[in-house]
Amino acid sequence: MYPKKTLSLAIAALSGCMALSAAYNVTGKLDNNGGSRIFLVTQTGKNTMDTIATSLTPDGSFTFTGNISAPMAAEIRSAGSYLHVPVMLEDGKSYKVTGDASTPNKWTIDGGGDLQNVRNRFHEIELEHTHRCDSIQHYYRSTYDLNDYFWVVQLKGALQREGEAFDAKRDSFAMANDNLVSAAVLASDVRKLINNKTVHQKYRLLGNNARNTVPGNILKVEAERMAQIVVGGTAPDFTMPTPSGETLSLHGVKAKIKILDFWASWCGPCRAENPTLRKIYAEYAPKGLEIISLSLDTDKDAWIKAIEADQMTWKHVSELDKGNTAKSVYNIFSIPRMFILDENNKIISEGLRGEQLIEFIASQLKD
């Protein structure tokens, strides 16, 4: 039989193990919120967020509490606003948030733990960048002349240089902070990283601690996925509806050379490229060329009318914006965008247009 004192200690220890850890507590208020719903969310993928909690009050105040098994990079967002307030959630920590739903970067967080303090330091870098961009735009507005080509070039150049300087500071910050914050900062911009080389460069900035987090894994998965979307990689397959309602798969189309063309009826540059595609198709379809035009349209009538008007007599598919799976997989941020595939669906070139496209197809399908 256990001694009474020993048994009491055992029960106390067991009770301590069973008790839940202290919850996080996030309170605050967003000015100019207009009574919109406020969300606490966390990023789970390149284009996906999970909602942790929501709040709806007339004055924009909110309180979020809960328990988590590990520190989590979360954001407070307001419906209809570009405001994103990053909260580095940790159990047992309290956060006091203030923000302005009408101004994306106008927020402060008091409290939290060491991770929140690190994130707040990066916010100072963000605010400095915003101030510099505003100053550049203010200066050029004072000399506004859109008809002056050199004025436009100088404005774009100044903003580009400031953007590059900010990117360098963000990269330095990520390398200096091997934790959840640096991974979250880089993962939040993963949608803007347009090629495999860039994604890999960002992922390599992270230390082991940062990589072993949810946002670190998001960058890893995206880097691995985008490794396919390079010359020499295999073009990811997809199956989509055609205008007639049937389905067509990219890999199911057999041809010596395939052009995968991302376009839309509302895209002027895309429509301007269609005469080039018509010329290529007429000359090289008999020699083993096929074109698959993937439209980003949402209106089926507009899509079909554009196909007919531009005499696009090759193959067509579209999800009509129901998921935009291929757009995400191929990392399409602007159109037109074209990928050239060989008979084994290997990407042999991409980004060609006009005469460059004609010359490349001619070189691949010589007599």
Place of tokens 């923000």: 99
Gyration radius (Cα) of the chain, Å? 26
Could you tell me which CATH number the domain at 20-110 has?
2.60.40.10
* CA neighbor of 270 nearest in space, from 354, 161, 170, 191: 354
Return the pLDDT at 156.
Answer: 81
Q: How many CB atoms lie within 10 A of CB 49?
A: 14
- Rounded Cα distance between 184 and 219, Å, is 9
For residue 296, pLDDT over 90 is answered with yes
Alpha-carbon distance of 217 to 203, in angstroms, equals 9
> Does residue 308 register a pLDDT over 60?
yes
Topology of the domain comprising 239-364 = Glutaredoxin (3.40.30)
Q: Which residue has the higher pLDDT, 258 or 13?
A: 258
As a whole number of angstroms, the distance between CA 97 and CA 83 comes to 13
Cα 197-202-205 angle, rounded to 5 deg: 130
Digit-coded pLDDT (tens) for 30-64: 999 999 999 999 999 877 899 999 999 999 999 99
Please, what is the angle between helix 149-176 and helix 180-187, to 10°?
Answer: 150
To the question of pTM greater than 0.75 for the whole model, the response is no
Pairing status of strand 289-295 against strand 315-318: parallel
The secondary element (H helix, E strand) that includes residue 76 is strand 72-78
* pLDDT in the model for residue 208: 97
Q: Cα angle vertex 345, ends 339, 347, to 5°?
A: 40
pLDDT tens digits, 182-196? 999 999 887 666 555
20-110 matches 239-364 in fold: no
For residue 86, cis peptide bond before it (omega within 30 degrees of 0): no
**Contact between residue 335 and residue 296 where contact means Cβ atoms under 8 Å apart:** yes
What mean pLDDT comes out for the span 164-183?
A: 96
CB atoms within 10 A of CB 115: 21
Please answer whether residues 292 and 259 qualify as being in contact, where contact means their C-beta atoms are separated by less than 8 angstroms: yes
Tokens of 356: 């460059």
In this predicted structure, what is the pLDDT of residue 154? 82
- Identify the weakest region by mean pLDDT among 15-19, 86-90, 153-157, 360-364: 15-19
Backbone angles phi and psi of 237, in degrees to 5: -80, 160
Tokens standing for residue 52: 């942790």
Q: Are 99 and 31 in contact (CB under 8 A)?
A: yes
The pLDDT score that the predictor gives to residue 7 is 36
Q: Where are the domains of the chain?
A: 20-110, 119-226, 239-364
- Where does residue 351 fall: left (phi above 0), alpha (psi -120 to 50 degrees), or beta otherwise? left
Cα four-point dihedral sign 309, 334, 336, 160: positive
Rounded to 10°, the helix 196-205/214-226 angle is 150
